[in-house]
Amino acid sequence: MKKLLTGNEAIARGFYEAGGHVAAAYPGTPSTEILENMEQYKEDIYCEWSPNEKVAMEVAIGASMAGARSLAAMKHVGLNVAADPIMTYAYLGVNGGFVFISADDPGMHSSQNEQDNRYFAKFGKMAMVEPTDSQESKDYIKEALRVSEEYDVPVLFRVTTRVCHSKTLVELGERTEVAKKPYVKNVGKFLAAPAHAKVLHVTLEERLARLEEYSNNSPLNTVEMNDKKIGIITSGISYQYAKEVFGNTASYLKIGFTNPLPFKMIEAFAKEVETLYVIEELEPYMEEQIKARGIKCIGKELIPNVGELNPDIIAKALLGREIRTIEGLDNLHDSIIKRPPTLCAGCPHRGLFYSLSKIKNVMVTGDIGCYTLGFTQPLNSMDTCVCMGGSISTGHGAAKAFKQAGEDKKVVSVIGDSTFFHTGMNSLVDVVYNKGNTVTVILDNRITGMTGHQENPGTGYTLMGDKTIAINIPNLVKALGVEDIQIVNPLNLKETDAALKKALEFDGPSVVITRWPCVLKKFSQEDKSEFGCELKKYKVNEDKCKSCKLCLKSGCPALSFDKYAKIDPDMCVGCSVCAQICPFEAIERVGE
């Protein structure tokens, strides 16, 4: 049976059909749906949201060591977090087949950078596989697991946003049960003491040589010979773009197994064609290696290494002409009103950021999540954002520097609940241990908001839908050594103002926890009993409105101004923040 699947759905299906046993991930665009779809196979596959990518990688590594076919999934920046265990696991090799997904985000649709993670495979001396569509995403997972077991190697399965989120037809198959391999204690293989690792490094180099032989004969690397004037070496989504531009007027070497590269194939292909192009997104990963072998080719001289490619960019760069595959896009660009991203109407973070915006002489260090939008106008309440979990430690460093220079400036670090569990906890330990004097605000909206409402250790539910212990953030913070802890309702501005004031006056590490569910969340039974959440809508009483525009400083997208302030009744969820801001009581509850 054929089905239209996204690349992410196909990866989950491929792992299921390949007899996969254990899968773990931390959500992150564009990889999130891999584990969301894995959940439908929970009868056969144990799957979990781990608190961060390093933990997910380690869970999958442990399962592989125990003999299970295992998978870890993450977005590209998540692999930075997980780099530590995987670099060593490449030395150790596997027991059960082991695949880890890096979903890269060229164009930074939802990321803080657009790093090209293919270099991780070369750097870490691991095998790498790159599918070009959903069918290959499913099929290549099976081959990747087979290669992992045959060559005793972890496999980096690299996809990009367009492969993850595009839908193509996929032929579904049945699950093949693969028995878990027996676990046999073997410290020489699985215990990375220096004496063992020195031996394992030699084995690793031998393994790479064998893998290059496999690469030259791999069914994942294919040649399509057409006109020989132009030859194209490509991989991943770039293959689809190249085919769209050149069709059958060029020959192709499509590389699906991209580390080690199939140099015998590449040399033979290069000899056959007159002009050789290497078409790849982001970095010249293949091109550099091909040129280093003395093979003449054209790549990044003409094709940009910034942002996503598309057929138009390739046609313009290599043929010097427009092909207009995205017809009418320019017209759309002109007619669509630009809408900068903003916190949702009724977002519980708005109250906190509004309160923060009124405080002078503070630096606010931010983190990764939808609340990063606290930096936007008119809230303008965030100064920095570096990486997941980094807000508390960058804030600590800044506060130490201010103190050392004798500057009277305090630091507030803001971090979401899931991000706090991810890597924020470690940083708070550092603040306590090193006698920091910052305010940490944990924005607990009872869910992992930005990636689309995945459960996390604080929500009380697992990925597989089981009820579990909800980690109590105030107790955890207390256990980490923080003495000054306040819990506030961020929709109550007076309460939030007072908590921030008290925390800023406290001498030592202080934590404010803002607790209110994400406005888009489907409430659990626990949410309903804790928050009630019967919010009523608000409207502006024009007789009382003095047109001072102060309410617009909330940044709520439901508010607009035309002579008087206005509230869009379809967008307003009745959080009451604007009503609290209005000094003239011109914003009133509807229905009372």
Which residues contact ligand SF4 (rule: CB under 6 A)?
A: 345-346, 538, 540, 545-551, 554, 556, 558-559, 565, 567, 572-578, 582, 584, 586-587
551 is in an annotated binding site: yes
d(Cα 430, Cα 120) in Å, to the nearest integer?
Answer: 29
Residues 6 or more apart whose CB falls under 8 angstroms from that of 212 comprise 260, 261, 262, 263
d(Cα 506, Cα 503) in Å, to the nearest integer?
Answer: 5
Q: Looking at beta carbons only, is 511 or 518 nearer to ligand SF4?
A: 518
- Closest approach, Cβ 364 to ligand SF4, in A, equals 21
Report DSSP state, residue 480: T
- Closest approach, Cβ 306 to ligand SF4, in A, equals 37
Q: Is the Cβ–Cβ distance between 3 and 169 less than 8 Å?
A: yes
- Closest approach, Cβ 545 to ligand SF4, in A, equals 3
- Say if residue 378 is preceded by a cis peptide, omega within 30 of 0: yes
On the CB side of 156, CA atoms within 13 Å amount to 31
Pull the structure tokens for residue 76. 């590209």
Q: Looking at beta carbons only, is 47 or 578 nearer to ligand SF4?
A: 578
- Closest approach, Cβ 475 to ligand SF4, in A, equals 31
Q: Looking at beta carbons only, is 219 or 378 nearer to ligand SF4?
A: 378
Q: Looking at beta carbons only, is 356 or 431 nearer to ligand SF4?
A: 356
Q: Looking at beta carbons only, is 503 or 519 nearer to ligand SF4?
A: 519
Q: Looking at beta carbons only, is 271 or 549 nearer to ligand SF4?
A: 549
Q: Looking at beta carbons only, is 221 or 580 nearer to ligand SF4?
A: 580
Q: Is the Cβ–Cβ distance between 46 and 21 less than 8 Å?
A: yes
- Closest approach, Cβ 513 to ligand SF4, in A, equals 21
d(Cα 286, Cα 64) in Å, to the nearest integer?
Answer: 30
Residues 6 or more apart whose CB falls under 8 angstroms from that of 138 comprise 5, 10, 11, 13, 14, 17, 170
Quote the distance between the C-alpha of residue 538 and its chain's center. Answer: 36
548 is in an annotated binding site: yes
Provide the 3-class DSSP secondary structure of residue 461.
Answer: strand
545 is in an annotated binding site: yes
Q: Looking at beta carbons only, is 40 or 547 nearer to ligand SF4?
A: 547
Q: Side chain identity at 398, as an amino acid letter?
A: A
- Closest approach, Cβ 336 to ligand SF4, in A, equals 24
Q: Is the Cβ–Cβ distance between 502 and 487 less than 8 Å?
A: no
DSSP 281-336: SSS-HHHHHHHHTT---BSTTTS-SSS---HHHHHHHHHSS---SSTTHHHHHHHS
The phi-psi region of residue 452 (left if phi > 0; otherwise alpha if psi is between -120 and 50; otherwise beta) is left
- Closest approach, Cβ 359 to ligand SF4, in A, equals 20
- Closest approach, Cβ 353 to ligand SF4, in A, equals 12
In degrees to the nearest 10, what's the CA dihedral of 465, 469, 470, 476? -150
Q: Looking at beta carbons only, is 156 or 575 nearer to ligand SF4?
A: 575
- Closest approach, Cβ 320 to ligand SF4, in A, equals 51
Provide the 3-class DSSP secondary structure of residue 170.
Answer: strand
Q: Looking at beta carbons only, is 296 or 563 nearer to ligand SF4?
A: 563
CB atoms closer than 10 angstroms to residue 205: 9
518 is in an annotated binding site: no
575 is in an annotated binding site: yes
Q: Rounded to the nearest 5°, which phi and psi values hold at 129?
A: -130, 140
- Closest approach, Cβ 376 to ligand SF4, in A, equals 15
DSSP 264-275: HHHHHHHHH-SE
d(Cα 405, Cα 223) in Å, to the nearest integer?
Answer: 63
Q: Side chain identity at 104, as an amino acid letter?
A: D
385 is in an annotated binding site: no
d(Cα 2, Cα 218) in Å, to the nearest integer?
Answer: 25
Q: Looking at beta carbons only, is 295 or 545 nearer to ligand SF4?
A: 545
47 is in an annotated binding site: no
d(Cα 158, Cα 160) in Å, to the nearest integer?
Answer: 7
Pull the structure tokens for residue 192. 């990375």
- Closest approach, Cβ 564 to ligand SF4, in A, equals 6
Q: Rounded to the nearest 5°, which phi and psi values hold at 189?
A: -95, -40
What is the enclosing helix (H) or strand (E) of 412? strand 410-416
For residue 398, CA distances in Å to 393, 401, 406, 438 come to 9, 5, 12, 10
- Closest approach, Cβ 340 to ligand SF4, in A, equals 17
344 is in an annotated binding site: no
- Say if residue 106 is preceded by a cis peptide, omega within 30 of 0: no
Q: Looking at beta carbons only, is 31 or 357 nearer to ligand SF4?
A: 357
Q: Which residues are annotated as a binding site for [4Fe-4S] cluster?
A: 545, 548, 551, 556, 572, 575, 578, 582
Q: Which residues are annotated as a binding site?
A: 545, 548, 551, 556, 572, 575, 578, 582
